[in-house]
Amino acid sequence: MIRVMRPIIVAANWKMHTTPADAGDLAAAISRRTREPGVVRVICPPFVCLAAVRDALAGEDVAVGAQNLHQELAGAYTGEVSAAMLAGLASWVILGHSERRRDAGETDELVSRKLGRAVEAGLRPIVCVGELVDEREAGRAASVVAGQVRGCLGGHDPAALASAGLVIAYEPVWAIGTGRTATGQDAAAMADAIRATAREIGWDDLAGALPVLYGGSVTSGSIGEFLAEPSIDGALVGGASLKPDEMAGIVARASLTAAARSAAEAG
């Protein structure tokens, strides 16, 4: 039973793919192929492609997101991008992606600081959380993710984060590019744990309206299993987001979920 009508969101994370020469054409193709009702669409290209994607999507109902931002407003941080630099280029931002945690050593404390900058700049944040394979096998998946939620969201005003449109993406790190797969039930259990933790840190009734996406190597063939779970509200799509056919299938299935939930809410 859906008690709160949360948005259905499909966000494309292009990671380190595309160039300014081809990103615009790809974004336009995906936009044309995914014009389905009831789905919030977001494309997150590399920094150097933000302007090309923004221009290609002019007039389309598709948001542009950045893949990261720096925790400081400005300074001697060679190669970094601040929230202010994203003005006019992006309206969403991904924070704390598992690859940033792995490759750049990002901690929950750092992600929390970045979250504050995103909210200050009016960017809609997607905060990523998820456990490693050894953590899951040790039975610590829920506690690890709960700790990440506390570390990233704790200290922020829940009402301000809710007003900013905070989204959480659950990434089972052990199922990304490993050949292993998470089930819809796995993802739903973690989404429930995420919202339960939000309640514990002061979100109270706001936790029920917190969108949680699945971010574990989702495809058009697997998305249905996850969207069948009432606690999952869409997907953060990686490799499949570079393929218009895959994105068309994912968004079409998401639109069916949005329609079904709307009908249930009305009934």
Catalytic residues: 97, 171
What backbone phi and psi angles, to 5 degrees, belong to 13?
-105, 105
93-113 burial by CB neighbour count: b if 16+ within 10 A, else e? Answer: bbbbbbbbbeeeebebebbbb
Q: CA neighbours within 13 Å on the CB side: how many for 161? A: 28
What gap in Å lies between CA 124 and CA 166, rounded to an integer?
A: 6
> How many residues are listed for the chain in this entry?
267
166-195 burial by CB neighbour count: b if 16+ within 10 A, else e? Answer: bbbbbbbbbbbeeeeebebebbbbbbebbb
72 class by beta-carbon count within 10 Å (0-12 exposed, 13-18 middle, 19+ buried): middle
Neighbours of 116 (CB within 10 A): 17
114 class by beta-carbon count within 10 Å (0-12 exposed, 13-18 middle, 19+ buried): buried
